[in-house]
A and B are shown apart, each in its own frame.
Chain A
Amino acid sequence: MEYYAKFLHWLIALQYQLNSYISTTIRSLNDENSLSTSLLILGIAFIYGLVHAIGPGHGKALVALYFTSNKSDYKKAFKMGYMISIIHAISALIFTFGIFYILKTMFRKNFNEFSDIAMQISAIMIILVGIYLIYEAYKSRKEKEKKLKKSNKSEIAVAFSAGVVPCPGVMTIVLFCIVLGQTTLGILSAIAMSIGMGLTISLAGIFSIAMNKKAGDTLNKKAYILEMLGGFLVLTLGIFLFLSFHK
């Protein structure tokens, strides 16, 4: 665990610097340096998103588990990562603007409440995805000979479950920009940060697919067991998240 803790420490230190750098750079924006500084801010936001998503959370576990239980190619992992990041960005923007313009005062309190609601929706979605994966594994066992054509529905459900919870990091940058009168930059920064996060989430999926491929023929013959296990783990993850709000 020592290496894991040191890795976390390195991640925190890097985010600490990026967080400070991005706020200082946004504050330094003026009429003379607007284009170059804006591009620099978007670049930092992208790297911040990339690094931020390396840390725990952001649906990497869900994506990894999904690809453990589904035979897929690397392209699908990228697609999944970016679906999550698009939903993540949209969700963060809707929540930030919605709360900011509709409620304005007591922003942070409302932000926490809405964030909790989003987390619960996400947990329920994850539970449903888990049940769906178990059902599919059961079905594929029953129809072993018949190659099942996987629908995109489960992918969208996974992406929605992982992405619907707005990232407080993205929301903070958007809000910071709004307060400083840089609303457009805030929206673009949210997109840049989400693209960075999407790349990291995709890598989690790719890693899972690579592990799945390495599992070899023995496991492939009993693929439904793995699929079933993946489904149960996704279900457990959803239940854990849901229960954490009802302690």
Chain B
Amino acid sequence: MKLLLIFSLLISSLFAHPHTFIDIHPTVKMINNNKFIINFKWMIDDMTSTMLMMELDQNGDGKLNKKESDYAKEEYFSIFKDYNYYTYILVKGKKVKFPVAKNFKASMQNNKICYSFDIELNQNIKDTVFEFGDTDFYVAMILKKEFVDTKGLPFTVTGVDNDFYYGYKLEFK
């Protein structure tokens, strides 16, 4: 029992805990039965956004222009590629590679930085499942039902147990 306690503490100490919270707002755009685009809007929490703005808002106007948005893409957003954008895509139960993120734009909305980008998938949306979560437990990805816009397509948002972290799953019906 004691050893179990010690080992569980030892293991847990190697993980960080969330310091940044990102709300995920997905919007679905159907192209045809085997092709769809999802626009993701990541809303970064107020405090983290304030910290980021110190560097990103180079002209200090409280907004992010094209140049500042490009800088955000280059210096910050591109890093998320190494973390698979905290998003795992499963088609018929098998993990697929995260597509290239297109049309990136960083903006400021209600004291929060918004990263907006599109991904395109040549799959049937009903076979596709999205799972969100940071395995390192540093960033908390938050998905709520009210954040999702599927233009009428039925969907579910559920919690997903991934052993050492808890993520969210988005499924379409």
Contacts and interface: CB of A to CB of B under 8 A. Distances in A.
Interface residues of A, number: 53
Contacts of B162: 5
A40 to B, nearest CB: 17
B9 A175 contact: no
A237 B46 contact: no
A179 B54 contact: yes
A65 B111 CA distance: 42
B140 A12 contact: yes
Interface stretch (B83-91, B95-103, B123-131, B163-171): B163-171
A65 B45 contact: no
Contacts of A180: 50
Interface in A195-247: 204, 208, 211, 215, 230, 233, 236-237, 240-241, 244
Contacts of A233: 6, 10
A151 interface: no
A23 B51 CA distance: 12
B17 A62 contact: no
A27 interface: yes
B21 interface: yes
A22 B47 CA distance: 9
Interface stretch (A70-78, A83-91, A100-108, A141-149): A100-108
B165 A107 contact: no
Nearest to B168: A9
Contacts, number: 124
Given A9-B159, A19-B47, A23-B47, A57 B17 contact: yes
Given A1-B161, A68-B2, A108-B55, A244 B14 contact: yes
Contacts of B161: 1-2, 5-6
B165 A5 contact: yes
Contacts of A159: none
Interface of A: 1-2, 4-6, 8-9, 11-12, 15-16, 19-20, 22-24, 27, 52, 55-57, 59-62, 64-65, 68, 104-109, 168-169, 172-173, 175-176, 179-180, 204, 208, 211, 215, 230, 233, 236-237, 240-241, 244
Interface of B: 1-2, 5-6, 9-10, 12-19, 21, 45-48, 50-52, 54-55, 111, 137, 140, 142, 159, 161-166
